Structure 1
Amino acid sequence: MADGTALTVAALCLPFLGAVLAPFLVRAFGHNAAWLLALVPLLSFARFAGLLPEIAAGTVVRGGYAWVPSLGLEFAWMLDGLSTTFALLITGIGTLVVLYAGGYLKGHPDLGRFFSFIFLFMGAMLGLVVSDDFLMLFVFWELTSITSFLLIGFDHRREASRRAALQALVITGGGGLLLLAGLLMIWSTTGASDLSVLLQSGDLLRANPYYMPILLLVLGGAFTKSAQYPFHAWLPNAMEAPTPVSAYLHSATMVKAGVYLLMRLNPAMGGTAPWMVILPLFGGVTLVIGALLAIRQTDLKLKLAYTTVSSLGLLVLLTGLGADYAIEAAVLYLVAHALFKGALFMVSGIIDHETGTRDVTRLAGLRKAMPLTFVIALAAALSMGGLPPFMGFLAKEEIYAALAHGDPRSILFAVVVIAANALMFAIAFAVALKPFLGAPVETPRHPHEAPPLLWLGPAVLALLGLLAALFSATTHEFISSPMASSVRGVATTIKISLVPDIGLPLLLSLFTIALGIAVYWRLERARALMAALLQKLGPGPDQGFDNAISGLVSFSVRITRILQPGRLEIYVTCTFLAVAAILVLPLWLFGEGPSLPAWPAGVQIHEWGVFLLAVIGLVAVVIARDRLTAIVSLGIQGFAVALIFLLFGAPDLAFTQFMVETLSVVILALVMTRLRLSRTDPRPLRQMLFDGAVALACGAGLTLLLMKATEAPFSTTLSDFFNTYSKTIAHGANVVNVIIVDFRGTDTLGEIAVVAMTGLAILALIRIRAGAERKLAENDPDAPDDLGVERP
């Protein structure tokens, strides 16, 4: 394995190693273990950063190993501009979140468990964005849902946390199943099992007659993961998680997984009419709804959560727009959003941690007590508001450059984007200014500046948002342009800088700022209007989720009462009805019934005797007056079969059959005599006839199937194999023994284990009942026997 490949494997595996080490380091060093644990994602970040010059030159770094070569399944990764940028965001912001969590959860008894969950999620997200193979992509896709479930429900003692975790798992996990179906259809119709192969055959996929169902399935996975309307409710509810989780999962990583998938598949699936209609439509609706719902909130984290929903809608809209500069705008906004939203989430956590509340109506005048936090919040808000000299300004200018066209479609989406951006501008400064300006108010805790572990992360992210814009040429060379090239599928160079071009995009930007200032000025009025509107509209998708789960539970209970009534005879009857249908119906529907066999010639007297013995046993079972007689008579059938084995030269099988039948009769007789059962069959004649018909159908079906199978030409392949290799490989002359012990050794071991467990279970039941009988006799000899057994 080359050194570069080994380093990449190490970078991908380090988070999982961190998950193992975290509890031990926390136990040894307490919250200060965050400094050591932060080295884990930092080393991975360094590896991916070291690939930037190579990626910027247009190289795609690939690696992996074959898992099931015959099926083309591999654990393969692909690092290009898109996946490398995501890997840098995951590990870079992950480093800062680990430090932040050490300060935020200082003294928490489950801090070690929290770090393990964070690292597991980090590893899953890294695996997702670098996956080349479909199987690897799906495995890590679902692993992000599972680990986010653990993180969102971290405070599992609170019902709200448990509900939010369950909602996120149900929605994103269900979307993952849709994605799996889509990937399987792509694999089946194109033969491609790797993303790198699929991206080279986009024309084949777009021309495929199954393109539309494939697209809908893939969008189902992406929209649920990236919280597009109407699947958006899980993301704001996930704010029940600790703030480090919100800052990591819901600004830079998990919620962008769906956007990543859309960007990754854009060269193969983009550019079609359905793509350019569905994505902008759902993205635009999500953009507006998220911004409007954010205005309604007073909780700082919920405000940011709903603007995240809005931002994800904007990214989906831009990815599907198909206009010039749209992909470049999406790339710039994705990076800018990760930086400013991560910083603002951490700031909201600092405010909550130091004051005891996140309610913006109960906060004011914190600027003097928390000056550094105020500066960080203001810098992040300037980027979120799209003001220079921050990365958000470059993204907003490129967005308006993509929409600055005179066609009705561009005008419509420009209006939508301007309105939503103005609302997000107002919310950004509501988060950054209202808690800090004005006269100080009393808060649950005395406010003071946060310790370094808390402010270091948001300070770095806010600073990066500034530096990325100031040195935009370097940012574009190593980050933006390679990423846009991967998304578009052709080489792309982004040139936008802090020096704006005088034109329509700048005018749209200035109009957005003016509208945002107006909304901020009348924010309380806007909040009241949204509250009144939502009250009139009634329950939304969040309540709909509860109703759906409640309906599903009720439906399951009713179905269970029908299918699982608790009566063994119903289960047995249904089982044998299904067996009869499986055996008989295919032969009848497809005309595959066997021919009537010829009567064998020269049947000898002892052979007739064996068959007669089997018939006598059958009649004895049917006419038996009590169960014990029926059980003993049933053993006659097994002995008759054993005699047939003897006649056809299989003594080993015959003696095995003798032993099994003897044990079966003994065990059944022993069990039946210990149960309180009526001596005779209590079933009415109608029930007996029905059960007899089912039994005859099963027997007839099995007989017909065996007759049909024996009509086929006999193949000696297996016989020749066993005869040839039994002695040379297994060193045994008895072929039957070799097959059982060596060639089918695992099967035999399983059969022995099943028989042993059954015997132990029966023995345990008998001993329990015997003990219960003795205890009952000792306590009250005259008490009625309700144990279902007869007294000895």
Structure 2
Amino acid sequence: MQSGSETALLIGLALPFAGAAVAPWLMRRMGDRGAWLLALIPLFAFTVFVSLVSTVASGTSVRGEVSWIPSLGVTLAWYLDGLSTAFALLISGIGTLIVLYSGGYLHGHPQHGRFMSYLLLFMGAMQGLVVADNFMMLFVFWELTSIASFLLIGFDHEREASRRAALQALVVTGLGGLALLAGLVVIGMATTTDTLSGLLAQPEGLRGSELYLPALLLILLAAFTKSAQLPFHFWLPNAMQAPTPVSAYLHSATMVKAGVYLLMRLNPAMGETAIWETVLPLFGGATLLVGSVLALRQTDLKLMLAYTTVGSLGLLVMLTGFGSDLAVSAAVLYLIAHALFKGALFMVVGILDHETGSRDTRDLGGLRKAMPITFAAAIGAALSMAGIPLFTGFLAKEAIYEALTHDSGGWPLLILLVAILGNATMVAIGFAVGLRPFIGRQRETPKHPHEGPALLWLGPVVLAITGLLAALLYGLFYRTIADPMTTAVAGSAFANAISPLPHVSLAFGLSLVTLAVGLVLYAAQARLRGGLASVFGAGNWGPDRGFDHVVAGLVRLSAAVLRIVQNGRLDVYITIAFITTAVVLLVPMVIYSELPSMPPFPALQLHEWTLVVVALVGLYSVVRTRNRLTAIVSLGIQGFAVAVLFVLMGAPDLSFTQFMVETLSVIVLALTMTRLHLSPTDHRPWNERLFDGSIAIACGVAFTLLLLRVTQNPFDASLSEFFNANARIIAHGRNVVNVIIVDFRALDTLGEIAVVAVTGLVILALLRIATPGRIRGRS
């Protein structure tokens, strides 16, 4: 890649984040005119990606990288082929129109700048996601899209419904993000690569690995949550609480297709297996049917489009996993067509809501004269959604039926029937949104209907015209966009041959059947709505309600656990800590047969026997005394004995530290005990003494066995040699112990100092608040 193109690409990827930083200030200073300036950001990225189309169409992938985290070998690496370039064009191209549309839709909103900032942040994250080559870069941008969408969905944060929808989307897609991270780690373990280009260069390496199944399950979980596949479909319709520009961008053209992008990207490496070609069509087909049925029962135009978006995502997943190049081609054509007509229709619904005050299909009608430009854009998008000839939707539908009728058998036939039913619903909903509000008699609406400003209707008009021109110029469209994208997904060269003109074939016959069924559903939608309402009832069941129950259950479980582990009693905390310590040390040694062999008893000299006797006397005093103060002083005797032992072993520095710690501990504890007004004696019942003593013995035995096991291993002197060799050279100190403490492990020492300081502050606080009767020991 030439340096000039590389620089332009980097600028195009970075500008949305810079725009997000200045958007609030710019919108405050310039008002709606700021939208025109901000739209230049995605427009610049669009021109950069357009300049790469010819290179990618010729079969040459565009790669490059810049250093990101050099110490870990992580780079910002990009990989542009037919798939990523097509997605980047959709993101930047539609993003340009959405920025302009937002300028008109949120005209006068006090938080207009904040919204633009979130929108550009999401745009930058989505662009980074589809061009990412490095696994870490892919994951970071994947998660950033979830965070940005959370901010956009919850933009109207004063409404509870918006907050709930944003949290729900974040939880579901965040779960998928964790699955993606784990899946990428497993893929890296199976293939020893950390880039998508490296993975695609050795596709058989992953399919032949024993880690293929866990990697597949994790990737499917990530894709299904992001692209709202059953049973995770519920978050997408709820996300319609967001402003309409968000729905038109995130929930039709970009974010919800991130999961589909992931599946398409990994199809050459993970496809062509029985489980891939079973799970994807099964879940995709079920999602298509569920989304289609639920769309028919809606009266809110946005919810109609939302549920058909769920169905369309299911159709894309189903085709991606069908297992043929023809099906992949159909998925590619439908993805592009869907982004164009669904983005346009969402913006049309926003105009209707903005200019009439309603988006309920029962309240709208006869608006074609009052809103002629909006009507033209709406009918163009609706015709494409219905799959009428001369539109990209027709190309996609013909390709779908061509792919599904190419193979015979029960499984392809079943998938074909599901596709016909789903596409028929698309016909009905397309006309219900793009035609019904504009025909018939004009009805009374909350606002007097009139055409919106140019910032509103420019987007849907451009998208509707693009959907028409792409089909009319199908040769150019195939060569530059569709064929390179299909080739990247299928893993082999492919050339489309679908014409936008009607032609006698089985696929066209099925298109006519689909259109006829769709028109019947369109005409009978009101009656179907009543029947579906009686079947589904009040809707107090299903995954959406289940999500609330799961969240409520987690809250109750957390509260119950908190009452146990955070009950406010220090003795319980200490008991749990020591039990955990004993279990963690003893259980692994027993399970893995790592218990040490008992060493012979050493021949001690007189002074060493003296220290042992002193320590035992101190231990006996601690155990037998019933006076707390005496117990504290006796505990210090053992510490002093250990400090003397350090002196005899040639460690005066360590001995001095031990003397200081023991002395300070005894003094502080003694002063604290006298100020807390505790009972002077400890008369616990025998069962408590037995329980606490057992824990103490278990911890002592555990540490003793661990130390014995460690000392019986061969001594590795490499670390000692390193410190001896470098203490004076690097840290300029002769005392190796001091150098280790204050230089080599300075942060550790700082942490210890911080712990001591915090402990001292806590003790001081206890002493200040302690009054007779307020703090009592266990008696």
- Give, as a single letter, the amino acid of the residue that structure 2 aligns with 1:57: S
How do 1:170-185 residues align onto structure 2 when only pairs under 5 Å count?
170-185=171-186
Show structure 1 runs of 5+ residues with no match: 774-784
Displacement, 1:72?
A: 6.2
Displacement, 1:66?
A: 5.4
Secondary structure (helix, strand or coil) at the match of 1:213 reads helix
After superposition, what is the alpha-carbon deviation per residue over 1:428-484, rounded to whole angstroms, capped at 9, x for unaligned? Answer: 111112211122211111111111111111111112111111211111111101100
Secondary structure (helix, strand or coil) at the match of 2:597 reads coil
Secondary structure (helix, strand or coil) at the match of 1:62 reads strand
For 2:565 and 2:293, the matched residues in 1 are separated by 47
For 2:721 and 2:550, the matched residues in 1 are separated by 59
How do 1:403-422 residues align onto structure 2 when only pairs under 5 Å count?
403-405=404-406, 406-422=408-424
The worse-fitting range, judged by mean Cα deviation, of 296-305 and 488-497 is 488-497
Secondary structure (helix, strand or coil) at the match of 1:297 reads coil
How do 1:111-190 residues align onto structure 2 when only pairs under 5 Å count?
111-190=112-191
Whether the aligned pair in 2 keeps the contact of 1:286 and 1:313 (CA below 8 Å) is yes
- Give, as a single letter, the amino acid of the residue that structure 1 aligns with 2:486: A
- The question of 1:560 aligning with 2:562 is answered yes
Displacement, 1:537?
A: 8.6
For 1:595 and 1:539, the matched residues in 2 are separated by 62
| Cα distance, 1:296–1:557 mapped onto 2, change above 3 Å | same
Displacement, 1:385?
A: 0.8
For 2:759 and 2:244, the matched residues in 1 are separated by 52
- Give, as a single letter, the amino acid of the residue that structure 1 aligns with 2:610: G
Secondary structure (helix, strand or coil) at the match of 1:273 reads coil
Whether the aligned pair in 2 keeps the contact of 1:73 and 1:193 (CA below 8 Å) is no
For 1:339 and 1:442, the matched residues in 2 are separated by 31
How do 1:267-286 residues align onto structure 2 when only pairs under 5 Å count?
267-286=268-287
| Cα distance, 1:628–1:789 mapped onto 2, change above 3 Å | same
After superposition, what is the alpha-carbon deviation per residue over 1:514-561, rounded to whole angstroms, capped at 9, x for unaligned? Answer: 222222222212222222222299722222222222233333333333
After superposition, what is the alpha-carbon deviation per residue over 1:597-645, rounded to whole angstroms, capped at 9, x for unaligned? Answer: 23333x4433333333222222222222222222222222222222222
Displacement, 1:166?
A: 1.7
What residue is the counterpart of 1:708 in the other structure? 709
The worse-fitting range, judged by mean Cα deviation, of 479-488 and 538-547 is 538-547
Whether the aligned pair in 1 keeps the contact of 2:66 and 2:77 (CA below 8 Å) is yes
Secondary structure (helix, strand or coil) at the match of 1:75 reads strand
1:457 aligns with one of 432, 437, 459:
459
- The question of 1:653 aligning with 2:640 is answered no
How do 1:505-524 residues align onto structure 2 when only pairs under 5 Å count?
505-524=507-526
1:426 aligns with one of 425, 428, 433:
428
After superposition, what is the alpha-carbon deviation per residue over 1:701-737, rounded to whole angstroms, capped at 9, x for unaligned? Answer: 1111111211223232222222222222222112112
| Cα distance, 1:111–1:761 mapped onto 2, change above 3 Å | farther
- Give, as a single letter, the amino acid of the residue that structure 2 aligns with 1:287: L
| Cα distance, 1:653–1:484 mapped onto 2, change above 3 Å | same
What residue is the counterpart of 2:355 in the other structure? 354
What residue is the counterpart of 1:787 in the other structure? 774
The worse-fitting range, judged by mean Cα deviation, of 119-128 and 580-589 is 580-589
What residue is the counterpart of 1:739 in the other structure? 740
What residue is the counterpart of 1:475 in the other structure? 477
After superposition, what is the alpha-carbon deviation per residue over 1:80-102, rounded to whole angstroms, capped at 9, x for unaligned? Answer: 11011111111111111111112
| Cα distance, 1:351–1:724 mapped onto 2, change above 3 Å | same
What residue is the counterpart of 2:202 in the other structure? 201
For 1:451 and 1:38, the matched residues in 2 are separated by 17
- Give, as a single letter, the amino acid of the residue that structure 2 aligns with 1:556: S
What residue is the counterpart of 2:333 in the other structure? 332
How do 1:311-710 residues align onto structure 2 when only pairs under 5 Å count?
311-405=312-406, 406-535=408-537, 539-601=541-603, 603-710=604-711
- Give, as a single letter, the amino acid of the residue that structure 2 aligns with 1:34: A
For 1:699 and 1:414, the matched residues in 2 are separated by 70
The worse-fitting range, judged by mean Cα deviation, of 247-256 and 706-715 is 706-715
- Give, as a single letter, the amino acid of the residue that structure 2 aligns with 1:452: A
| Cα distance, 1:537–1:343 mapped onto 2, change above 3 Å | closer
Whether the aligned pair in 2 keeps the contact of 1:283 and 1:316 (CA below 8 Å) is yes
Displacement, 1:675?
A: 1.9
For 1:71 and 1:192, the matched residues in 2 are separated by 15
- TM-score scaled by length of structure 2: 0.96
| Cα distance, 1:75–1:324 mapped onto 2, change above 3 Å | closer
What residue is the counterpart of 1:782 in the other structure? none
What residue is the counterpart of 1:218 in the other structure? 219
For 1:763 and 1:553, the matched residues in 2 are separated by 35
For 2:69 and 2:358, the matched residues in 1 are separated by 54
- TM-score scaled by length of structure 1: 0.94
Secondary structure (helix, strand or coil) at the match of 1:726 reads helix
How do 1:268-307 residues align onto structure 2 when only pairs under 5 Å count?
268-307=269-308
Whether the aligned pair in 2 keeps the contact of 1:473 and 1:497 (CA below 8 Å) is no
| Cα distance, 1:650–1:189 mapped onto 2, change above 3 Å | same
| Cα distance, 1:52–1:159 mapped onto 2, change above 3 Å | same
Displacement, 1:408?
A: 2.9
For 1:288 and 1:477, the matched residues in 2 are separated by 33
The worse-fitting range, judged by mean Cα deviation, of 563-572 and 726-735 is 563-572
- Give, as a single letter, the amino acid of the residue that structure 1 aligns with 2:719: L
For 2:558 and 2:626, the matched residues in 1 are separated by 42
Secondary structure (helix, strand or coil) at the match of 2:367 reads coil
Show structure 2 runs of 5+ residues with no match: none
Percent sequence identity is 61
Displacement, 1:73?
A: 4.5
- The question of 1:751 aligning with 2:738 is answered no
After superposition, what is the alpha-carbon deviation per residue over 1:491-526, rounded to whole angstroms, capped at 9, x for unaligned? Answer: 112232323432111111122112222222222122
Whether the aligned pair in 1 keeps the contact of 2:389 and 2:501 (CA below 8 Å) is no
